[in-house]
């Protein structure tokens, strides 16, 4: 039986990160393994398999082995919906957090607070967090023995390094990979890097559920002057990153990487600007 993976998709920043193109690319990577039965929850036709209202009304969430969370602020702003995901993950379903969702449910800036999400995520973008300019840097594997990272080398990528993310509830977590935050690289907000290794991929637990938090994978819908390539899928080009993501989806669901361990990241993705009307 394939792993039942529910991709929870919504416009994270209402015009910000290109979650549509990331979802299309991520599903191509996952499909290559033939290990997953992927259900995409999304309100517009084309990319989604079921609308959010139907997803909740028909209680489809109860069938998930793991959730990919890329819908922050779009749903889960009422307690009844929040309780559904919290119970599913604490009961054993996996939780995978994608880049772009880290600032979500941040009450200090006027969003609806969700403590359960903060505990599932572990590290989040909050008041002290920033990042340097989009550009090239090296990812260091911190735990070569974890099933997700076994056999993966350090690798170069083009992305953002989130600095000084916060753990609001002091939940325990394990760092799988990190990146050096260069103090000479200044963000578009004028903030310098920290001069230390910053976590970019972590694992944890929420009740019986396994969690994976990935801060890599930045894709913007258009060029902003922030960094050449940020409006492409360049951040998803590195094969070790692709392998790490695909393995994490199996691990979050089952605690193993038996079905994805031979995935080599060899998938062709079109690195083009995307609009919601287009599909990869």
Can you tell me the distance from the alpha carbon of 135 to that of 178, in angstroms, rounded to the nearest whole number? Answer: 15
Cβ distance 221 to 15 under 8 Å? yes
Q: What is the DSSP letter of 60?
A: G
Classify residue 183: in a domain, yes or no: no
* Cα gap 98→87, rounded to integer Å: 20
What is the token pair recorded at 99? 């880049």
Tens digit of each residue's pLDDT, the chain (280 residues) = 999 999 999 976 555 789 989 999 999 999 999 999 999 999 987 789 999 999 999 999 999 999 999 998 899 999 999 999 999 999 999 999 999 999 999 999 999 899 999 999 999 999 999 998 899 999 999 999 999 999 999 999 999 999 999 999 999 999 999 999 998 888 777 888 899 999 999 999 999 999 999 999 999 988 877 788 899 999 999 999 999 999 999 999 999 999 999 999 999 987 444 444 433 3
Provide the domain count of the chain: 1
Q: Does some domain include residue 245?
A: yes
| Cα–Cα dist 218/226, whole Å | 12
Q: Does 214 map to a domain?
A: yes
Q: Which of 111, 140, 142 is nearest to 125 (CA)?
A: 111
Q: Any bridge partners for residue 246, and if so which?
A: none
Q: Write out pLDDT tens, residues 14-58.
A: 557 899 899 999 999 999 999 999 999 999 877 899 999 999 999
The tokens for 101 are 């969702």
215 in Cβ contact with 234 (< 8 Å): no
CA atoms within 13 Å, Cβ hemisphere of 99: 28
Q: Is residue 98, in this structure, part of any structural domain at all? A: yes
Say if residue 180 is exposed, middle or buried (CB neighbours under 10 Å; 0-12, 13-18, 19+).
Answer: middle
DSSP string, 7-44: EEE--TTSSSS-HHHHHHHHHHHHHTTT-EEEEEE-SS
List, for residues 248-264, the tens digit of each pLDDT value. Answer: 999 999 999 999 999 99
Q: Is residue 268 part of a domain?
A: no
In a domain, 141, yes or no: no
Give percent of the chain above pLDDT 90. 79
Distance between alpha carbon 30 and the CA centroid of its chain, in Å?
14
pTM as predicted = 0.94
CATH number, domain containing residue 101 = 3.40.50.880
Q: How far apart are CA 239 and CA 237, in angstroms?
A: 6
Backbone φ and ψ for 115, nearest 5 degrees, come out as -60, -35
Within a domain: 39: yes
> HSE of 37 in the Cβ direction (CA atoms, 13 Å)?
7
Element (H, E) at 131: strand 130-131
State which residues form the domain around 90.
Answer: 3-127+163-178+199-254
**263, part of any domain:** no
């Amino acid at each position: 039986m394939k792993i039942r993976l529910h991709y929870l998709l919504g416009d994270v920043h209402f015009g910000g990160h290109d979650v549509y193109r990331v979802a299309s690319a991520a599903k191509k990577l996952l499909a290559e393994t033939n290990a997953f039965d992927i259900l995409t929850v999304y309100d517009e036709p084309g990319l989604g398999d079921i609308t959010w209202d139907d997803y909740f009304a028909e209680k489809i969430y109860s069938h998930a082995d793991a959730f990919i969370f890329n819908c922050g602020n779009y749903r889960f702003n009422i307690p009844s919906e929040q309780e559904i995901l919290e119970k599913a993950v604490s009961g054993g379903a996996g939780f995978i957090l994608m880049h772009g969702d880290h600032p979500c449910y941040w009450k200090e800036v006027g969003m609806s607070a969700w403590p359960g999400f903060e505990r599932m995520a572990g590290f989040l973008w909050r008041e002290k967090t920033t990042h340097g300019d989009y550009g090239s840097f090296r990812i260091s594997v911190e735990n070569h023995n974890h099933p997700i990272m076994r056999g993966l080398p350090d690798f170069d990528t083009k992305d953002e390094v989130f600095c000084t993310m916060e753990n609001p509830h002091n939940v325990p977590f394990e760092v799988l990979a990190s990146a050096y935050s260069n103090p000479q690289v200044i963000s578009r907000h004028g903030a310098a890097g920290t001069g230390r290794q910053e976590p970019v991929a972590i694992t944890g637990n929420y009740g019986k559920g396994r969690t994976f938090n990935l801060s890599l994978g930045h894709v913007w819908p258009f060029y902003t002057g922030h960094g050449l390539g940020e409006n492409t899928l360049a951040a998803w080009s590195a094969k070790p990153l692709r392998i790490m993501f695909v393995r994490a989806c199996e691990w979050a669901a089952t605690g193993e990487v038996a079905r994805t361990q031979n995935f080599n990241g060899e998938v062709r993705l079109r690195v083009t600007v995307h609009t919601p009307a287009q599909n990869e």
